[in-house]
Amino acid sequence: MRKIILFAPVLLGACSTAPAEPVVHGVTPGHTCKAAGTDTFVGQPATSESGAAIMRATNAAVLRWAPPGVMLTMDYRQDRVTVHVGPDNRITEIKCG
């Protein structure tokens, strides 16, 4: 009887339900990046405040800074915005993915 009581939590843990939606890399529910209308940020300094504003404007869940000369991964994420920065630390381009 003691063995059953000791293993009861383990057996109950096996009954837990799986998430309703499978987790997919690059997908955050409710977040799909839209870069339209972000031209107003080009030329501005790359700061945490401008990054937060860009995330709000694009509906992105992930922000990636791309300084000059840095290699970036080629994977596409529909929930990510990439902000390219020039040598003067000013925003030069904003792209989704």
- Give the domain CATH number at 69: 3.30.10.10
Q: How many domains, the chain?
A: 1
pLDDT at 47: 97
Please report whether residue 3 resides in a domain. no
Please report whether residue 49 resides in a domain. yes
Please report whether residue 80 resides in a domain. yes
Interatomic CA distance for residues 34 and 69, integer angstroms: 25
Checking if the pLDDT of 1 tops 90, the result is no
pLDDT at 3: 54
CB of 81 within 8 A of CB of 32?
no
Checking if the pLDDT of 22 tops 90, the result is no
Range of the domain at 61: 24-96
Please report whether residue 7 resides in a domain. no
Confidence category of residue 21, pLDDT binned at 50, 70, 90:
low
pLDDT at 17: 55
The per-residue pLDDT for range 30-84, each reduced to its tens digit, is 889 999 999 999 999 999 999 999 999 999 999 999 999 999 988 889 999 999 9
Checking if the pLDDT of 8 tops 80, the result is no
Q: Which residues touch 75 (CB under 8 Å, ≥6 apart)?
A: 25, 26
Please report whether residue 67 resides in a domain. yes
Please report whether residue 2 resides in a domain. no
